[in-house]
Structure formats: structure tokens, C-alpha cells
Chains A and B, each alone.
Chain A
Amino acid sequence: RRLVQSRRSLMMVCLCFMGIMRYLAKLSSLGSISEEETCEKLRGLIQRQVQICKRNLEVMDAVRRGAQLAIDECQFQFRSRRWNCSTLETVPVFGKVVTQGTREAAFVYAISAASVAFAVTRACSSGELEKCGCDRNVHGFSPEGFQWSGCSDNIAYGVAFSQSFVDVRERSKGQSSNRALMNLHNNEAGRKAILSNMRVECKCHGVSGSCELKTCWKAMPPFRKVGNIIKEKFDGATEVEQRKVGTTKVLVPRNSQFKPHTDEDLVYLDPSPDFCDHDPRTPGMLGTAGRQCNKTSKAIDGCELMCCGRGFHTEEVEVVDRCSCKFHWCCYVKCKQCRKTVEMHTCR
């Protein structure tokens, strides 16, 4: 009974936020978000988010790309697990306020918050956004400020925007709910995955190019790396419970012998379901029937675990593969077609 409940809640959690992300991502076929009315039409945004959307129309394009990035990365990281992020392909369903959260929910929240920060920062660098970087300067936003001391890092704007746009959902629920606390923590952990992995790059430009004068700056890690880091945090996530310390409610590890989680760790409240079976009552809960598996692996992508002991079909398939290809750096591939037969295993 508890299992079914938590399973349902997980799906709702994921769809709750990722649903918007999905929706935003889908919008790419509709053209850019350029009018304020579009914000109203975006399903799943709460009132505060609609306001932010209207105020920052130019940023919403980047948010949409961030959403797509998050989904792609989630599906890549979970490609060989029972839950493979594909549940989000269904029509978004937004349940009531969800009160439970699993490890997977923690990952989705973290990667979403990180992807929004990432995409907005990149949009800043390509000059798409007018107000980033320079308006967070100590000298205020003015050409004089830029001329006197330059602008602040774009990442500061990206992270701040992610904080205001993604977190406002949880903040509006009030700090008391433990789901809100968990989500806020995981959002922040996702952004930290970028912030604490910034690469420092330097250039020497003194007399004759000596290092007498050196300028350093921070560059964002590639998003794949961010995904890997959050996936590692997912594997080592801490199960927490809410406790009152003084007047504030905080999340502490359920097992008091575990060392407390840091800002960069993911936390979850409920154990995950096994994701084995299709559940028609929970949209997106597809089960693992029909999934491909690896016969020789003993890990989660192995047929034993993936198929939850139900066994698997094996069939020989002829695949057309590309071989001896010629590539250009962009957009051009000339290949021969090679055919080979492979064994494919699918779960019953």
C-alpha cells in the first residue's frame, strides 16, 4: 500500500515540475516566447512564475532550452536504469500538492535547476540577454560601471535567475512543508554542481607575453559533466526527515549515524519504488517490459535486474550500421553502410 502511494507520488512530483519543463521544451516548435500572453498560456506555471515570465520574456527562450537540456541529460544519465526518464513523454499531469519525494525526484529537481542556470548563463555569453552580468555590478548597471570596472560574471546572473524562477514554486508553498524543503535543497545542490566545478582559466599578457600580467576567469563545465556530478550525488543521496530545531524546520539524516549531508548532496524523503511494473493509474509509470537489457552485465542494466526476474526474449536482429565514415566538423557525414547481426534482449 505504501509502495503504491509513494510510486504515484514520485510520478506526480516529476511530472509536476518536469511537466512544465517538457511543455516549455515542446514550445520550441511554436517559435519563440515573445509575447506576454504566451506566459499566461504556459500550463503549469504558478502565478508568481507567470509574473517572472512576463518581466523576463527574453530569458524564457533560454529557460526553454534549459528544460530540453535537463530532459536530454536525465535520459542520458538514466539510460540503463529501470526508470529511464521516459515517463515524461506522456501528457503532463499535475496532481495536488505532493507530500513525498524520492531519490529520482531529487535528481530531476537538481538537474532542472542546474540546467536553467546553465542555459541562462550561456545565453548571456552569446549576447541574447540585455540585462545579465552588468546589472549585478557593484557600480550599478550603467555604461560607466562597465567602463570603470567591467561586469560581473554571467554565472551569477544565471544562478540568480534559476533561484528566482525555479525556487519560487517551492517558496510559495511555504517553508514548512518538508517537500518544499527537500526540493529547495536539491535545487540548490544542482546549482552548486555548476558553481563548485567552474574551471579557472588564465591568460598571461605581460611584457612579451610574460606572466607579469595575468588575467583569470571562470568557465562553466560542460553540461555532461554537470549531469555526471549530479548523478554521482544521486547515487550517494541521503535519506532525510524533517525535524524542528528551535523554531525552524530542517532536514536531518534519518539514520543519525550517517554523516550529515552538505549543500552539494542530494536528499530524499521516501524510498524509491522498484519501477518494475506498468501502473495504469500512475501516468508515466511504464515498467520495464519491452526494455532492452544487457545479458552479460550484473549491474542494473543487466537482464536479471532490469527485467525484475521476469525473464527476457532474445532475438537476432540485423542492424544497418555506419562504417568507414568521412566527417566534416559540421553537418556532413559520408558513410558506407555495414550490416551486422546482433543479439537483442528485451524484458518480458
Chain B
Amino acid sequence: MAGAIIENMSTKKLVIVGVILVLFQVFSFMVGGLIAPSPTTAVPYLATKCVDSVHHNEKSTKWFTPWGPNQCHKIRDFEEATVKKIEANNIVFAVHIPGPKIEMSPWFQFMLVVLQFEIAFKMYNQIDDGAVVTIDVGLAYRDDTFSDWTELAHSVEQRKLSCNFTAVKTFENEGRYYDCNLLPFMELGSVAHKYYLINIRLPVSERKKTNVGIGEIKDIRLVSIHQNGGFTKVWFAMKTFLTPSIFIIMVWYWRRITMMTRPPVLLEKVIFALGISMTFINIPVEWFSIGFNWTWMLLFGDIRQGIFYAMLLSFWIIFCGEHLMDHTERNNFSVYWKQVGPIAFGSFCLFIFDMCERGVQLKNPFFSIWASDVGTELAMAFIVVAGICACLYFLFLCFMVFQVFRNISGKRSSLPAMTKARRLHYEGLIFRFKFLMLVTLACAAVGSMFPFIISFVNEGHWHWGEHTVQVNSAFFTGMYGMWNLYVFTLMFLYAPSHKRYGDEQSLHLHLQHFIRRPYPERLTISSYMDSPPLEQFRVKCLAQGHNGGI
């Protein structure tokens, strides 16, 4: 990794590259903030109470539509039901997604639904401690307004009611509502159909103790969340644009490495791997979700993102390790098992967790790992282990960064006494490290500042002259653009310099110095373009396997 482009670049050029990158960064924020709408939309629904008056045979499932043609027989409230002697088992809560006159679209990418019960407080009919609701739920779809509903999923699920009553439990306060937590209800990985219908029943059985002691349910509210079509389009456009950019620089980078006579060093391989994982995220396979009903896209997206983050974390560790300057031979992946191990293990835990949640949801969209006690404990276990791994990793990383800085200050003091070539070598190392450190810190700062800013902005957007800036969208496109630019910059600036090719004629060879690794036994010539010509061209001859100080 000797003589990377970054060392051989003049300050002027470096500033130009920096300005261009900042411009692209600003552009990626603007794309999200000004063109895209907010990333997601939440649509509230109030379930319509339908009466299942006809006792039809068990086999044929009848769907209850809340409005439109063939709508069900509705009741307004349960007082009406009591008067008409309708039982709880004959009540079906129906929700049609979306509302009238509009339709869903594959551009929405995913749809998740949360459930909330509205339960009134009654002195004699309170919610038991640890009450569990059993919901018998069916999901159906159709693509036009007249045909029959087709079943998509059906399941009997249990959800823990966690409601608390803020007022004093007296007769005075009867009729006030409990504060009930949102319950996870459903997740669909693709929105391939135009109309969806949800039918919920709350079957009561005193013998089996199902749905007993759940209070007086007044209403069921659902909130469906989907990605905005406009945001999806902007996102796809961005991916489609970024894929070739990163891919081209990746090819260019690898060609440069293979053009050298030495085999690539570890750091170069890791940067290349980072490029591959970035391209893996970038490739806009999501375009297929518009035409095909691929429900696994959500899971696939998670995996791709996980791989990238794991790669990025590993890169930081290896980068620090390769710049330790403590005269130990590394350049081997197995040296870093202690640091990379936690990353791999943590990512694996999260992967298993994700498979348990989103993987199972491919089969049963109503599944939630948080719904059962065992599932909750398991999920918590995975997350805690992943958290411990993350802590361990950051301890390692901080320690390594500290070590590097300690070595840098050690080298600093001895720099003036060194020979020119050796000094330049160490200056190059220090510069390279500090540059990445600065860029990484800047990225981390931008990444962590933004949620902070968002929390100050009402409703996720602010008005800027005539434009409405969607801060949330700006954050997502900005962060996405930022990591792409980060990887791009890494591959561009840390690629081996080509200055050696044309510089044979300007020879002020100072062949007096050899140091150990990670520098291969080869000639490298670094030129400082910003300094006056020729006489200040320096050539370093660095050879591996020899100790310094000849």
C-alpha cells in the first residue's frame, strides 16, 4: 500500500477533489430534501364492525367489506349489538386498505400495519393483568373493484395487551379510555395488489379462557405504514446512478492493483471488498419488485445492509491495524480475528434475529417474535449479544486508534532525526491515517447530527422560501450518498499511485533506507506535485525484510 494517490497528490488537487465530493454530498441531500416526498406515510384506519349473521359452513370463508358495493351489515357501536343480541363471536372487524377512490401500488415496496385497541374503563370489567388477546385474522386482496376477494394469509395470533389507566379507577372515570400500546400486527414485503382487506375476529371461549378479561373493547384502530411512491422513485434513480459510478471506480481500482508486480496487500483487498459490498447494496434489484411479487425483498435489503456495515466495521479495524507503525508483521486477515470476530458474531446474531422475524413473515405476515414470551426473550438475547459485540468492537477500535496516535506522537519526535525517505514514508502514513480519521469522523458527525436536527423540525419538514424541505428524506438520501462517496473516495485516494511509471528519468534516488513491511520489495516513487519540479522529486526505495537505519 505504498505510495497511495492521496500522498502523491498536491494539496490543490486534494482540495479540488474535496470540493467536488462536498458538492456531490450536498446534491444527494438536496435530491432527498427537495424532490422526494417524506420517506413513509402512515394511514390511520378505524375498523368497521360487521355482523356475521349467517352461519355458513366452516369451509367457505366469507369476506366482509366495510364499504362500497356488497358491504357488510354494520353496527355503529356495541350498545346496538347488545340490544340486537349479537354475540362477540359474530362480530368481524373489517378494514379496507386503502381508503375509497385510491389504490395501492408496487412502488410502496412494503406495508406494515400496527394495531391499537380502544378499550373503555369499566369498574366491573377491567383488563386483567397480563391479558392476552387472541385474534383470528384474515388478509385478502383483489385487483379490481368487482371481483371476489382472494385469501392471502390467515392466522390465529396472540398479542399481549399492555394498557394502563392513567386516571383513578373509580366510577367517576368510567368511560375513559385506557392508554394501550401499539401492537405489531402485520408486515408485507411487497405491495403487489391494489386493494387489501383485513378481517379480524376476537373469538371468545370461556372454556379455553380465550379473550376473557380484556375489558370493554370499543374500537380497533389500525395504522398502515408504507414507503411513499415518490420516495421509492427517487431512491431507485439514485441507486441506478450510483451503481455504475462505484462499479467503474472499483474496476479502475482493481486494475491498478493488478498492474503492479507485487500481490495486493491486505488493506487493498479490504478496500476492494468494501467496494463490492457497496455495489451489492447499490445494484437496483428493487426494480424487479415493481413487476414481480417478491416478498423477500425486505429481508434481502436487510442482509445487504448488514453485509455492508460488517465490512465497514472490519475495514476500520484493519485500517488502524495496518497503520500501527509498531514494526510487527500483519498484512494477514487472521491477525485480526480478535477484532473482526465480534463483528462477525454480532452480525450473525442480528441475521438470525432477522430471519426469525422477517424470514417467518414471508410465510405468515402476522407473525411477530415479540408477541410470545419465549420469542421476546430470544429476540432480546440476540440483540443483547449483538450489543455486547458492538461494545467490544468499539473498545477494540478506540484502543487501536489510541495506539496509533501514541505511535504517531512517538514518531513525530523522532521525525527530524530521520533520513528523508524514511521521514517521508512515515509522514505519508500519518497523513493517510489522519485523513481517513478526519473523513470518518466527519461522516459519523453528519450521521449522528441529523437525527438530532430532525427532532427539532416539526413533522419532518420545514419551509424554505417556496420549497418544502423533507428533512427525513434528505437524511436518507444524504446518508446513502455519503457512504457511497466515502467508499468512492477510499478507492480513489487509497489506490496505488501510478507516478512510478513515468518518473524513471527524474532520479534523485535516495536508496539509503529500508524498512519493514507492509511495503513490498519494489521501487516506489512519490512525487509532491505542489513543490517546485525536478530537484524536489523524491524517490523512495523501500524494501521489505530489512531493518531501517543503514
| A interface with B by C-beta (< 8 Å) | 65, 76, 122, 124-131, 133-134, 138, 143, 146-151, 154, 201, 203, 205, 207-209, 213, 215-217, 219, 222, 224-225, 322, 325-333
Contacts and interface: CB of A to CB of B under 8 A. Distances in A.
The residue in B43, B47, B105 that gathers the most chain A C-beta atoms within 10 A of its C-beta is B43
A330 B91 contact: yes
Nearest to B204: A328
A150 B225 contact: no
Contact of B102 (A128, A134, A329): A134
Given A148-B230, A208-B350, A213-B40, A327 B125 contact: yes
A329 B211 contact: yes
Interface SS, B side: mixed
Interface SS, A side: mixed
A322 B122 CA distance: 13
A225 B121 CA distance: 13
A149 B228 contact: yes
B217 interface: yes
A76 B230 contact: no
Contacts, number: 149
A125 B86 contact: no
A208 B124 CA distance: 41
Nearest to B301: A207
A217 B102 contact: no
A224 B175 contact: yes
Interface of B: 37-48, 66-67, 76, 78, 81-82, 85-88, 91, 96, 98-103, 105, 107-108, 112, 114, 116, 118, 122, 124-125, 175-177, 182, 202, 204, 206, 211-212, 214-217, 221, 223, 225, 228-230, 301-302, 305-306, 350, 353-354, 357-358, 460, 468
Contacts of B215: 329
28 contacts: A127-B100, A146-B102, A147-B105, A149-B37, A149-B41, A149-B228, A151-B41, A203-B114, A203-B182, A203-B225, A208-B353, A215-B40, A215-B225, A217-B42, A219-B44, A219-B221, A222-B176, A222-B177, A225-B176, A325-B124, A327-B122, A329-B88, A329-B204, A329-B215, A330-B217, A331-B82, A331-B86, A332-B204
Contact of B45 (A76, A127, A147): A127
A207 B223 contact: no
Contacts of B37: 148-150
Contacts of A327: 122, 124-125, 216
Given A143-B103, A329-B215, A208 B354 contact: yes
B102 A143 contact: yes
A328 B225 contact: no
Contact of B42 (A215, A322, A331): A215
B478 to A, nearest CB: 14
The residue in B214, B229, B350 that gathers the most chain A C-beta atoms within 10 A of its C-beta is B229
Contacts of B230: 147-149
B217 A127 contact: no
A143 B195 CA distance: 13
B45 to A, nearest CB: 6
Given A134-B101, A322-B124, A331 B41 contact: no
A127 B42 contact: no
Given A122-B46, A322-B124, A224 B176 contact: yes
Contacts of A128: 67
Contacts of B42: 203, 215-217
Contacts of A333: 125
A109 B393 CA distance: 62
B101 A125 contact: no
A150 to B, nearest CB: 3
A208 B204 contact: no
B525 to A, nearest CB: 45
Nearest to A326: B206
Contacts of A149: 37-38, 41, 228-230
The residue in B42, B48, B85, B211 that gathers the most chain A C-beta atoms within 10 A of its C-beta is B42
A65 B77 CA distance: 11
Given A76-B175, A154-B44, A127 B225 contact: no
Nearest to B350: A208
Given A203-B42, A328-B88, 12 more contacts: A134-B102, A148-B37, A151-B102, A201-B182, A201-B223, A203-B225, A207-B350, A208-B358, A215-B40, A216-B460, A217-B223, A326-B206
B174 to A, nearest CB: 10
A222 B43 CA distance: 18
The residue in A131, A209, A216, A224 that gathers the most chain B C-beta atoms within 10 A of its C-beta is A209
Contacts of B216: 327, 329-330
Top 10 closest A-B pairs, CB basis?
Answer: A150-B41, A149-B37, A217-B42, A148-B230, A147-B229, A125-B46, A327-B125, A126-B46, A222-B177, A329-B217
Contacts of A131: 101
B226 to A, nearest CB: 8
B81 A150 contact: no
Nearest to B82: A331
A327 to B, nearest CB: 4
Nearest to A138: B468
Nearest to A142: B102
A143 B51 CA distance: 31
The residue in A129, A222, A325 that gathers the most chain B C-beta atoms within 10 A of its C-beta is A222
A217 B42 CA distance: 6
Nearest to A220: B44
A205 B86 CA distance: 38
Contacts of B302: 207-208
A159 to B, nearest CB: 15
B221 A213 contact: no
Nearest to B304: A207
Nearest to B230: A148
